[in-house]
A and B are shown apart, each in its own frame.
Chain A
Amino acid sequence: MHQHVVRAMNVFRLIGLYFKVNLASALEYRASFLLQAFGMALNNGSFVFFWYIAFSQIGGRIGGYDFNDVMFIWALCSSAFGASHILFANMNSITRIIVSGELDTFLLQPKDVLISLLCSKTSLTAWGDFLYGFILMALTHGGDVPAWSMFLLGIVIGGLLMTAISVTAHTLTFYLGDSSLIGGLALEFVISFCIYPEGIYRGLVRVLMLSVIPASFIVHIPLKLARHFSPGLLLLLFAASAAYCGFAYVFFYRGLKRYESGNLIIARM
C-alpha cells in the first residue's frame, strides 16, 4: 500500500515538473501565448450566441436542458479539454511518435513511459479553453456551490477521461499499425456528444454514451449531480472513470510490449 502511495506521489511530482517547464517555455513567447489563448476563448464564446438564438426560437428546454444546463456542459467540456491539453498535449502525437521511432527516447528514461510521453508537450490554446470554462461558469452560475463543486471535480475526471480516450485510440497503432486517423478523430467524436443536451439522443446512442463514447461521464452525469446530488451516482462516476483510465493505461503497456525499436537518434532539448 505504502509503495503505491509513493509511486502515485512520484507521478504527481513528475506531472508538476513537466507543467512548470512547459509553462516557462510558453511564457517565453508571451504575446503569442496570450493571443492564442484569447482567440480560443473567443472561439468558444461564439457558441453561446448559437444557444441564445436556439433557445430564443422556442423559449423552453431543448432535450431536457435549459440554457444554464447547456452552459454548464459547455464550461465543463471546455475546461476539462483545456486541462488535459495543458498537462498532456502529447496525447495527439502518440501515433506519430510510435511510427517514427521517437518512442525510444521515452523508453530510456527512468520514469513512467506513458506519463513522460503525455506530459512532454503543452498546448497554448488549451489555456483559452481552460479559462473560458471558468468565465462561463462565473457568468451563468455565480455562487452556485453545488454547480461549482461538480464543475471542479468534473474537470479532473473529464480531463483524465479525454486523455484516456486519446491514449486508447492512438495505442491501436501498436496492434494495427498507423492509427492516426482514428487517433485524431476519437476525442473530437466524443466531444461532439458532450456539447449538446443528452436528451436529444435516444436508445442505442444513449447506451454508447455510457460505454464506448463516455460522454455522459465527462459532462452529463456531473450536471445531474450538480442539480440533484446522489452519492450512488457519484460513486458510479468514480468507478466508471477509474475503470476507463485503468483500461487505457493497461492497454498502452500491453501494446508497448509489441513495439519494435527504431534506430532514430533524437535529442530532446
Chain B
Amino acid sequence: MKLRKYFIVTRISLQNSLAYRSSAIGGLLFFSLFIFVFFHLWRAIYKGGEVTGYSLTQMIWYLCITELVVFGCRSGVFSQMNDDVKSGSIAYQLNRPYHYVFFQFFNALGNMVFNLVIYGILAIILGLIMAGPIPGFRFANLPFALISVVLGIVINFFFLMTLGLTAFRLEENFAFYLIYQKLVFMLGMFIPVEFLPRWLQSIALYLPFSYVAWAPARLVVAFSWDLFWQVIPMQLVWVIVSILMSLGMYTYGVKGIQAHGG
C-alpha cells in the first residue's frame, strides 16, 4: 500500500477544514453547552451524596475528554457511507487507484486532526474554568494518555464505517447507528465504567464501546501504568478488529453491487 497518496488526501482535507473553519462554530457552541449542563448536573449529584472513584473535578475533566473523543472528533463517516452507497456514487470510486475504506479514513483524518486541536483547546479552557486543574496531573503522562485518545477515535471511526457499509445489504440501517451510539454513550461517554453495576462492568471491559471514550478519559484524569497496560492492548485489539470488520463488510458489500450505468 503506497501511503503517500493517502497523506496527500489527509493534507487536502486538513486544508479544507482550515478554509471552512467557521462551520465548526455550531459544534463548539454545542460542546460548551454540553459541558455547562453536565457541570451543573454533576455538581448537583455530588451535593446529594458520595460518588465512588471520581472527585467532582475529575468528573468534569472526564466529561471534557469523552466529549472531545466522541463529539469533537466525530467524522460523519456513517452518513457518508450511507450516502455513497444509497446514491450509487460509490460506483465512481471503486475503480480509482486507492482503497475506498482507507481513502475514507485518510480523508476524515484531516478534519479529525483539526477538530482534535480546536476542541482540545476548548476542552482545556472549559475544564480549567469550571473545575480547575486536575489533582495529581503530570504532563509527562499526557503523551501516553493521548495515544489512548487517538486509538479511541480510530476504533469509533472504523466501527461507524462498518455500520455505514451495512447500507450495501440493508435498506434501513439507522437503528444500528443509534444502538451503537447509545452503547458508547452509556458505557463510557456519560457514565464512567466504575459507576456501572459490577456484573455490567466486567462485561463492558470485554466489549469495544468503553474503549472509545472511557479508557482515554480515565487515563487523562487518573493516569496509572497499570491502567495504561490494561487498556492499550485492548484498544489495539479493537482497532484491528474494527478495521478488519470494515474491510470485510466492504468486500462483502461490493460483491453485491449491481451497476446500471447512468
Contacts and interface: CB of A to CB of B under 8 A. Distances in A.
Interface stretch (B11-19, B188-196, B244-252): B188-196
A219 to B, nearest CB: 14
Given A38-B175, A42-B178, A53-B195, A60 B40 contact: no
Contacts, number: 80
B37 interface: yes
A36 B48 contact: no
Nearest to A59: B49
A63 B41 CA distance: 8
B186 A54 contact: no
A57 B195 contact: yes
B37 A193 contact: yes
B1 interface: no
Given A35-B172, A185-B26, A53 B45 contact: no
Contact of B175 (A39, A58, A61, A201): A39
B45 to A, nearest CB: 6
Interface in A100-142: none
Interface residues of B, number: 31
B63 to A, nearest CB: 13
A35 B179 CA distance: 12
Nearest to B43: A200
A77 B178 CA distance: 19
B25 interface: yes
B8 interface: no
A222 B50 CA distance: 31
Contacts of A199: 44
A196 B191 contact: no
Contacts of A188: 30
Contacts of A175: none
A70 to B, nearest CB: 11
B44 A60 contact: no
B186 A50 contact: yes
Most chain B beta-carbon neighbours within 10 Å: one of A58, A61, A184, A189 = A58
A49 B181 CA distance: 14
A42 B41 contact: no
A63 B44 contact: yes
B159 interface: no
Contacts of A32: 171-172
Interface string A181-192: 100110011001
Contacts of B259: none
Contacts of B26: 181, 184-185
B40 to A, nearest CB: 4
B174 interface: yes
5 contacts: A42-B175, A50-B191, A57-B45, A63-B41, A200-B41
Given A40-B178, A54-B45, 8 more contacts: A38-B175, A50-B186, A63-B41, A181-B26, A192-B33, A196-B40, A196-B41, A197-B44
The 9 closest A-B pairs by CB, nearest first: A58-B49, A39-B175, A46-B182, A200-B44, A58-B48, A200-B40, A63-B44, A43-B178, A39-B178
Interface of A: 31-32, 35-36, 38-40, 42-43, 46, 49-50, 53-54, 57-63, 181, 184-185, 188-189, 192-193, 196-197, 199-201, 205
